[in-house]
Homo-oligomer: A and B are copies of this chain.
């Protein structure tokens, strides 16, 4: 009996390599090795789980994970791709970002994030230890956020056809339906008088990535704020049940863009410039480079609209959590100038804050 195998590109079966080869995306032997020796090894959770057993045995093609015990409620689904450059930056990396971003998209919809998928697009030649550092970071961040990576996929493209490593995560969460007031968070809920809050300083992520990318040194500890916000948001929602109108994590385009999207729902928005928390270092870098922290990306900041009578309690709830210690009231919703965001400066001037019109910083997430 003679063995028959397909022609190969010269890669010996089972060889360990220190770089990603095209064959790691073939669906064949090297694909399986990559899953078992890297993805499943890290993503696998020691808790016995039929879901994770599925991950352990599935192929690189990404067969479906079966989620056998979802809690009651509406299912929320979201996705984001991550192309941040560089892959590692102060306070985070593309892997941490890929978990936090998708967790946060679910959390701001009022959902409890539960399960994520992870799709990798790898450039041929990517050092294996870079990929492993990213996978370890994803594992640690998903543990911190209390979510599980249950299914995945890997593709490899030729050297030069991608820039190192891109990640897509999709996530599902549950919006609890067992309360008297099912959570439906949308800008359509906004009413004149609602109070606007943020859980801390703005612009940290954008400025940290940019200074890293441009190899600028400002002699200070600029760090991305990249963090999973589901814990903070759970504290907030239980502190002021039924009072949160709308939430949005202020990523690309910054808080200015979030507020403009909300104004498009047909309300006016007024913001106090002085009330918006900005780190001194971030302000300095922005001034140096002609940027505006209100348009800079965040990866751990949520803009929140609450009914005015709940604002004080909401602020206290945010400040009780480590990710909200610099929380602040930044403005309110008005009946005037519907569709517009107006910024009041410390000197009493009023300016219209427009939506971001160009690409402030490409590949910020």
Please give the residue numbers on chain A whose beta carbons come within 8 Å of chain B beta carbons, in ascending order: 1-11, 13, 21-23, 25-32, 59-68, 70, 74-83, 85, 105-106, 108-109, 111, 115, 117-121, 150-153, 155-158, 160-163, 166, 168, 170-173, 175, 184, 248-249, 251-253, 256-257, 261, 290-292, 294-295, 297, 342-343, 349-360, 362-363, 365
Contacts and interface: CB of A to CB of B under 8 A. Distances in A.
A6 B117 contact: no
A95 B294 CA distance: 36
Nearest to A106: B64
A74 B68 contact: yes
B78 A64 contact: yes
B119 A81 contact: yes
Contacts of A173: 64
User: Which of A30, A74, A166, A349 is the most central at the interface, judged by chain B CB atoms within 10 Å of its CB?
Assistant: A166
B77 A26 contact: no
Contacts of A75: 66-67, 70, 75, 172
Contact of A78 (B9, B65, B81, B354): B65
Chain B CB count within 10 A is highest, among A8, A64, A292, A357, for A64
A292 B3 CA distance: 14
A121 B261 contact: no
Contact of A153 (B5, B25, B28, B80): B80
B26 A362 contact: yes
A354 B5 CA distance: 5
Given A64-B111, A66-B109, A119-B119, 7 more contacts: A11-B357, A28-B257, A62-B80, A79-B170, A81-B153, A83-B155, A158-B362
